[in-house]
Chains A and B, each alone.
Chain A
Amino acid sequence: MMNDAFDLRLTEAHIEVHKFRSGAIVVSTCLALMLQAFLPVYISKFAVLDLPLLVTIYFGLSRRNPSTGLLLGMIIGLLQDSLSGPTVPFGLYGIANTIIGYLASSIGARLDTEHPAARGALTMMFFVMHQGVVTLTRRMLLAEPEPWFTPRLAIAAAVNAVVAVLLFAVLDRLRKS
């Protein structure tokens, strides 16, 4: 057991904290929000994607700093709330994205998340958790009877995971070498 623990710490020490080109996070975030609000007008199926969430997950996993991750998640979530309709009060997606940003950066600090399979699996897990937090908030704070699980959620989680693998590979190019 001692050796296992020692090995784990050794592995943690090798996990690299990635830095990005200046403005990369801001530009990616704005682009994700705009595409999320704009593309479903022309491609209605695009609404199944949650690009702001994928950006939150990516920078959380890469930056590996829980404080930065949760603050970025909060900002992205609140911006998403502000672009939404009256059924989405400020803070609904803010809370969900804050938690996901924190978890992503905490996990990113402990595991190597560079492999596409790991990224896909983690995104799927985070997507389901994100929906879980939104549903919990709606049920507890807004007293709205939201279902915990729908077939659409499973499909959306899978689609977002696949898109995340491709999107993360593109975002990797924004890292400082």
Chain B
Amino acid sequence: MAGIPSRHKSLVLLAGVIILQVVLLAVQIKRDSQGRLLRVWTVGAVSPFERAGARGIGNIRGTWSHYFALQNTSRENEQLRRENDGLKLQVNQLQSKAAEADRLATLLNFRQAQRNVPMLGARVIGTSADTASQTIYLDRGERDGIRRNMGVITPDGVVGKVIESYRDTAQVLLLTDKDSGVGAMLADSRIQSPVGGTGEPLLSMKYIPTDDTVNVGEHVVTSGMDRIFPRDLPVGVVAEIKTGRPFQQVRVRPAANLQRLEEVIVLLTLQPLEKKEPAAPAAETSGKSVGGTAAVNP
């Protein structure tokens, strides 16, 4: 820097710093690494504050709702809301299974149907610090048994999957993120296609052939093909359909309110979830299944 005029020193420094970061980007792209160590440090430093903040807000809310705002009514309301969430889950499962009587017994209750799938409730304590990615942080981590690639749901539907698990925190990739995907199918016609995020509020159902009939308002459920989520969990509702060749452009509104998540359920298993084939004749579904796990991120 000695030979450089002082007025140009900062410009040289700027160029150097940018080149360094471009090289950093290039290395990541080449090696497909996310620099886990720096992430661990940063997340480790920030998550205690987020956890404390979440706890503080929880306490303030609790104090307010339990002591200031109609003590008994608030508690009753909370209990009813919890019951309502459980009932929503049951109704969704029953609706989806009603057309397939042979599997009705296993889907009366999600927990009963997936008895061997342990679940864990977790609180959302943070989000990604930018608008380009769609992730959330949970207040549970490796110590609670959470590992990478575990599914995350709410009683309303699929939320996403765990992409990083730290000691007391886990990072979840939401279904709306561009890198996200889930094995799915149309609830009525059972046509299978992966559903992926677009970075926008609506999801994209990518491989529905033009010849197949899809209706706005039709429910989309998990197919179980990704071996992360059990079959028939609500993914969303068809919101838009545009014709295209060879595939239709189907946009899906997520069933879970991904903009406002406070509590979620983590499916504590990395065992491939058992896929139970429907009893319907093979001819009815054969030829309609496109993609399956192909576009779903492992």
Is B42 a contact of A98 with CB atoms below 8 Å? no
Say yes or no: B260 contacts A44, CB within 8 Å: yes
Q: Which residues of A contact B14 (CB under 8 A)?
A: 66, 70, 98-99, 102
B41 proximity list for chain A (CB < 8 A) = 82
Q: A166 near B: Cβ within 8 Å? A: no
A37 and B35: CB pair below 8 A?
no
Which of A33, A94, A144 is B129 in contact with, Cβ under 8 Å? Answer: A33
Measured between beta carbons, the chain A residues less than 8 angstroms from B53 are: 34, 38
Give residues in B with beta carbon < 8 Å to A: 9-11, 13-14, 17-18, 21-22, 24-26, 28-29, 34-35, 38-39, 41-43, 46, 49-50, 53-54, 57, 124-137, 163, 171, 173, 177-179, 199, 259-262
Which of the residues B18, B25, B50, B163 comes within 8 Å of A86, measured between beta carbons?
A: B163
Report the minimum CB–CB distance from B23 to chain A (whole Å). Answer: 8
Point out the residues of chain B lying under 8 angstroms from A102, CB to CB: 10, 14
Give 17 new A-B contacts, CB below 8 A, not counting A44-B260, A86-B177, A102-B14. A34-B53, A37-B127, A41-B261, A48-B131, A65-B10, A84-B130, A84-B133, A85-B128, A85-B177, A88-B128, A89-B34, A90-B34, A91-B22, A95-B22, A98-B18, A106-B10, A141-B29
Known contacts being A38-B50, A98-B17, A98-B21, is A90 close to B127, with CB within 8 Å?
no
For A55-78 the 0/1 string (1 means CB < 8 A from B) is 000000000011100110010001
Query: How far is A78 from B29 in the complex, measured between Cα atoms in Å?
Result: 16
Determine which of B13, B18, B39, B179 lies in contact with A82 in the assembled complex, contact meaning CB atoms within 8 Å. Answer: B39
Q: Which residues of B contact A42 (CB under 8 A)?
A: 57, 262
Q: Is A28 an interface residue (CB 8 A)?
A: no
Cβ contacts under 8 Å, A50 to chain B: 130-131
Contact yes or no, A86 B29, CB < 8 A? no
Residues in B with CB closer than 8 Å to A99 are: 14, 18
Closest to A156 in B: B131
What is the CA–CA distance of A159 and B55 in the complex, to the nearest angstrom? 29
A94 touches B259 (CB 8 A): no
Number of residues on chain A facing chain B (CB within 8 A): 47
The 9 lowest CB-CB distance pairs between A and B, nearest first, are: A85-B133, A66-B10, A85-B135, A83-B129, A91-B21, A82-B42, A91-B25, A87-B133, A37-B126
Q: Looking at the complex, which one of A71, A86, A142 makes contact with B133 (CB distance below 8 Å)?
A: A86
B228 CB, nearest partner CB in chain A, Å: 16
| Residue ranges of A at the interface with B (Cβ–Cβ < 8 Å) | 33-34, 36-38, 40-42, 44, 47-48, 50, 52, 65-67, 70-71, 74, 78-95, 98-99, 102, 106, 134, 137-138, 141-142, 144
**Consensus secondary structure, chain A interface:** helix
Chain B positions within 8 Å of A70 at CB level? 10, 13-14, 17
- Once bound together, how far apart are the Cα atoms of A83 and B24, in whole Å? 17
Chain B residues whose C-beta falls within 8 Å of the C-beta of A36 in the assembled complex: 129
Q: Which of A70, A83, A134 has the most CB of B within 10 A?
A: A83
Chain A residues contacting B13 (CB-CB under 8 Å) are 66-67, 70-71
A95/B132 in contact, CB under 8 A: no
**A46's closest neighbor in chain B, by CB?**
B127
Contact A67–B10 (Cβ < 8 Å):
yes
Query: What is the bound-complex CA distance between A92 and B35, given in angstroms?
Result: 13
CB-nearest residue of chain B to A103: B14
Distance in Å from the Cβ of B59 to the closest Cβ of chain A? 14
Q: Is the pair B177, A41 in contact by a Cβ cutoff of 8 Å?
A: no
Contacts of B10 in A (CB 8 A): 65-67, 70, 102, 106
